[in-house]
């Protein structure tokens, strides 16, 4: 697990080139087995805790009962998933919502179809946090001003929410110095003093805390306790040409989200089937929440913060078109 969905990067130039390469079939690349009504559906994902409901739903038959032969296709991140969905390589993909907003403002033809993950809303136990070394003088978010903070992707959901918690705590968000670094390298970077603080996602957050790191802020939960973090999306081409497939996929994912929410132990256990997360870390890490619906108020807040940070290049995301 090299990357986490929390800060997926997108390669817009690549996506633009791929935008005209969609499948000419009505399923946007999905193939139906001869002689039956089963449709193979490929979903571009990163093998992280967030997508556990998808694997659980596949195991429980929520997709096969709707005629979907679900295939998870592992990708490094949004730089591969977003253009893969647009080109028809994947019928659906998983991405954090800020990356989807950035892509839309660049003219990438995508549409979110069903919710993915959300913050726990618990500032003491969320799926990401700003961590500092045990003996660091930093005690609160406002003290991050003037300090170097690692995020896994610049100009995305991480630094946007970190700036917000600094602002809310009375600090100057413009003085935070962000550097880009993979989550799995952050615990060592903190311990070695390479950065003053790090915005760390699970499971690296649990690993960092196991090494003595302290959490001084929970950007997701503090930005909005109901923060929608990531969703499953399709190309607008697929949504228009095969609404029945989108409907069945959405229904199956929704059932999967509900089941995972009601059976967290099963969700935690299935993570061992598709990741290499250490068993002890898996027992301790915080799971995201999996609500079936988006929280539009939180999406509006993220969009507003993104505009304030200038990550949309002067454009404004059309949230109704992207998330309706």
Bridge partners for 42 per DSSP: 71
What is the DSSP secondary-structure string of 189-244? HHHTTSSSEEEEETTHHHHHHHTT-EEEE-HHHHH-TT-EEEEEEEEHHHHHH-HH
Which residues are CB-neighbours of 262 under 8 A, at least 6 positions away? none
Nearest to 43 by CA among 84, 5, 101: 84
Residues 6+ apart with CB under 8 A from 63: 41, 57, 69, 70, 249, 252
* Cβ(109)–Cβ(234) below 8 Å: no
Which helix (DSSP H) or strand (DSSP E) does residue 180 occupy? strand 177-180
Give residue for tokens 């950007």. 219
How high is the pLDDT of residue 251?
Answer: 98
> What pLDDT does residue 279 have?
86
pLDDT recorded at residue 25: 34
At residue 161, the pLDDT reads 97
Q: Quick one: tokens of 134?
A: 């045990």
* Under 8 Å between Cβ of 324 and 253: no
Give residue 98's Cα distance to chain centre.
9
Options 3.30.300.10, 3.30.310.80, 3.90.1150.10, 3.40.190.10; CATH for 128-223 is 3.40.190.10
All residue ranges of the chain with pLDDT < 50 are 1-29, 31-35
pLDDT for residue 32: 44
- How far is 71 from 44, CA to CA, in rounded Å? 9
The tokens for 289 are 């929440």
Q: What is the pLDDT of residue 18?
A: 30
DSSP per residue, 19-82: TT---SSTTTT-EEPTTS--EEEEEEE--SGGGHHHHHHHHHTTTGGGTEEEEEEE-SSHHHHH
Q: Which class for 33: exposed (0-12), middle (13-18), buried (19 or more C-beta within 10 A)?
A: exposed
List of residues 6+ apart from 97 with CB closer than 8 A? 112, 157, 228, 229, 230, 231, 299, 302
User: What is the third-level CATH fold of 5-119+226-323?
Assistant: D-Maltodextrin-Binding Protein; domain 2 (3.40.190)
Q: Where in the chain is the domain with CATH 3.40.190.10?
A: 5-119+226-323, 128-223
Neighbours of 2 (CB within 10 A): 13
DSSP secondary structure string for all residues of 90-125: -SEEEEEHHHHHHHHHTT--EEEEEEEEE----TTS
* Beta-bridge partner residues of 110: 235
pLDDT score, position 36: 59
């Amino acid at each position: 697990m090299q990357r986490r969905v929390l800060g997926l990067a997108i390669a817009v130039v690549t996506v633009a080139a791929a935008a005209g390469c969609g499948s000419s079939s009505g399923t946007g690349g999905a193939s139906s087995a001869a002689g039956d009504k089963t449709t193979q559906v490929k979903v571009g994902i990163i093998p992280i805790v967030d997508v556990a409901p998808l694997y659980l739903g596949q195991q429980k038959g929520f997709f096969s009962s709707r005629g979907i032969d679900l295939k998870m296709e592992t990708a490094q991140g949004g730089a591969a998933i977003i253009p893969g969905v647009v080109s028809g390589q994947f019928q659906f993909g998983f991405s954090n919502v800020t990356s989807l907003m950035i892509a839309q403002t660049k003219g990438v033809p995508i549409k979110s179809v069903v919710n993915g993950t959300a913050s726990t809303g618990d500032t003491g136990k969320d799926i990401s946090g700003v961590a500092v070394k045990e003996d660091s003088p930093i005690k609160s978010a406002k003290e991050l001003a003037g300090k170097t903070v690692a995020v896994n992707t610049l100009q995305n959901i991480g630094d946007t929410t970190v700036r917000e918690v600094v602002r809310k705590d009375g600090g100057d968000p413009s003085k935070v110095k962000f550097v880009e670094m993979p989550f799995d390298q952050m615990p060592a970077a903190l311990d070695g003093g390479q950065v003053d603080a790090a915005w760390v996602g699970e499971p690296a957050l649990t690993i960092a805390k196991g090494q003595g790191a302290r959490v001084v802020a929970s950007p997701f939960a503090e930005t909005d306790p109901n923060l929608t973090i990531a969703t499953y999306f399709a190309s607008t081409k697929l949504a228009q040409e095969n609404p029945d497939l989108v409907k069945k996929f959405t229904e199956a994912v929704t059932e999967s989200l509900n089941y995972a929410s009601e059976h967290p132990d099963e969700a935690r256990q299935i993570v061992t089937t598709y990741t290499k997360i250490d068993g002890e870390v898996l027992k301790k890490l915080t799971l995201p929440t999996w609500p079936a619906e988006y929280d539009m108020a939180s999406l509006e807040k993220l969009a507003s913060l993104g505009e304030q940070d200038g990550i949309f290049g002067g454009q404004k995301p059309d949230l109704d078109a992207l998330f309706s």
